Amino acid sequence: MTDFAEDLAAERRAAARLLLAEPLVTAGTHPDEFPLVRRHAGELARQFSQLLGYRLTIESGFARLHKAGLGRDSGRRLERGSGAPFTPRTYAYLALTLAVLVTAPEQLLLSEVVSRTRAAAAEAGIDLAEPNRAIERRAMVAALKQLMAWQVLAEDEGSVDSYAGDDEADALLTIDREIARHMVSGPVGRAATPAELIDAAAGSDDTGPRHYVRRRLVETPVVYLDDLTEEQRDWLRRNQRREQRTLGDFLGLDAEIRAEGVALIDPQRELSDIDFPGTGTISWAALLLVAQLVARLAPDGAATRVPIPDGLVDQLLGELIDEHRSAWAQQFTSAPAVLRDEVLDLLAQLRLITRASAPGSDWMLTAAAARYAPEVTR
């Protein structure tokens, strides 16, 4: 391969990695990278469609990668700036406001956005509480700030934040209707009820084992053979070496192939939205907990699934709190149940533990947890 061809391949790989990590790329948020995406628009659209079954839309000011679902409980929750997860009410405000903005004028006062959103709720049969309640205003502000992060909204005058504490506060907002129209990837037109829309959005759109397995490989920390259907397992076993090369060329990922499954490793540590081991009480507690679980339950390397006895997590976390109380956040050391739930949620997202299907245990330790086994020095 000539130097020119190698440079082109490297550019396409960088653009593909960016879109995979951030499915909405705008000229404003990525002024240096967006021209790269536009330059390779045709080839990127072809590769995403062929390899993953994803649709790529590229307009003059933004690029939107439309991904498909991986099944229920496989998505990531939205969070406020504080880290608190969106509540169902906040999601309702987000969906209603986005629906309003699709046909809104280019500029609109915040008070008018609120009014139109509440009118849309009434039309949809959604009962919202009085708008002057603080909890309603905070939910609305969280939804608006998420839309601002997606570049659907921008503040021209005033501040959206001020509405959270004052129902008379106003702001002039600029709306990008084109981005708003491309935010929803789910098949809205084919769903007759909210439940049908959620099922359709979570589903893998029945593209067969090739696209489904590839999507799981690039979108999740590890793919266990036990979690795949027989058809999907057969496809992965037959093609895993070829896929290792294909996805390596496309995204610059290395494949770690084991008897239990396959994990794609990013040498640059850019594509994961979870930095682990990371900083903070939750991350450190999760790292220390999983190391102790491996040492106790699978000292010779975790098997595909190892049951975690009921009560063991609480016991180990209690010991860790006693040991690290002075270094960990008081909000967690004083509330062990909250710490436990946050730690288990993180480890489950990383696929280091999984829900148990048999009685007698709530959780199972998975094979990838062995990577965090404590080192023993003699």
Q: What is the pLDDT of residues 123-181, one digit of tens each?
A: 988 888 777 788 899 999 999 999 999 999 999 999 999 998 888 899 999 999 999 99
Query: What's the confidence (pLDDT) of residue 206?
Result: 61
Query: What's the confidence (pLDDT) of residue 236?
Result: 94
Q: What is the pLDDT of residues 260-282, one digit of tens each?
A: 899 988 888 888 878 888 889 99
Query: What's the confidence (pLDDT) of residue 376?
Result: 52
Higher local confidence (pLDDT), 203 or 223 = 223
Q: SS3 string of the chain? A: CCHHHHHHHHHHHHHHHHHHHCCEEECCCCCCCHHHHHHCHHHHHHHHHHHHCCEEEECCCEEEEECCCCCCCCCCCCECCCCCECCHHHHHHHHHHHHHHCCCCCEEEHHHHHHHHHHHHHHCCCCCCCCCCHHHHHHHHHHHHHHHHCCCEEEEEECCCHHHHCCCCCEEEEECHHHHHHHCCCCHHHCCCHHHHHHHHHCCCCCCHHHHHHHHHHHCCCEEHHHCCHHHHHHHHHHHHHHHHHHHHHHCCEEEECCCEEEEECCCCCCCCCCCCCCCHHHHHHHHHHHHHHHHHCCCCCCCEEEECCCHHHHHHHHHHHHHCCCCCHHHHCCHHHHHHHHHHHHHHCCCEEECCCCCCCEEEEHHHHHHCCCCCC
Query: What's the confidence (pLDDT) of residue 378?
Result: 46
Region of 317 on the Ramachandran plot (φ > 0 left; ψ -120 to 50 alpha; else beta): alpha
Query: What's the confidence (pLDDT) of residue 197?
Result: 74
Rg, the chain, Cα only:
23
> What is the pTM assigned to this prediction?
0.85
Query: What's the confidence (pLDDT) of residue 205?
Result: 61
Query: What's the confidence (pLDDT) of residue 129?
Result: 76
Beta bridge mates, 306: 365
Query: What's the confidence (pLDDT) of residue 118?
Result: 92
The sheet carrying 261-265 orders its strands as: 223-224, 261-265, 254-257
CA 174 to chain centroid: 27
Q: Residues in the chain, how many?
A: 378
Show the CA angle centred on residue 15, arms to residues 258 and 69, nearest 5°: 55
Which one-letter amino acid corresponds to residue 285? A
Q: What is the pLDDT of residues 116-135, one digit of tens each?
A: 999 999 998 888 877 778 88
- b/e 49-82 (16+ beta carbons within 10 angstroms → b): eebbbbebbbeeebbbbebbbbeeeeeeeeebee
Q: What is the pLDDT of residues 339-354, one digit of tens each?
A: 999 999 999 999 999 9
Q: What is the pLDDT of residues 1-42, one digit of tens each?
A: 567 778 888 899 999 999 999 999 999 889 999 999 999 999
Q: What is the pLDDT of residues 251-261, one digit of tens each?
A: 999 988 988 89
Q: What is the pLDDT of residues 39-92, one digit of tens each?
A: 999 999 999 999 999 999 999 999 999 988 777 666 678 888 777 888 989 999
Distance CA 243, CA 288 (A): 34
Query: What's the confidence (pLDDT) of residue 302?
Result: 57
* 200-229: average pLDDT: 84
Is it the case that residue 377 has pLDDT exceeding 50? no
Range among 30-34, 297-301, 370-374 rated most confident: 30-34
Which residue, 87, 3, 8, is CA-closest to 47?
8
Query: What's the confidence (pLDDT) of residue 20?
Result: 93
The tokens for 251 are 């995204």
The tokens for 224 are 């266990």
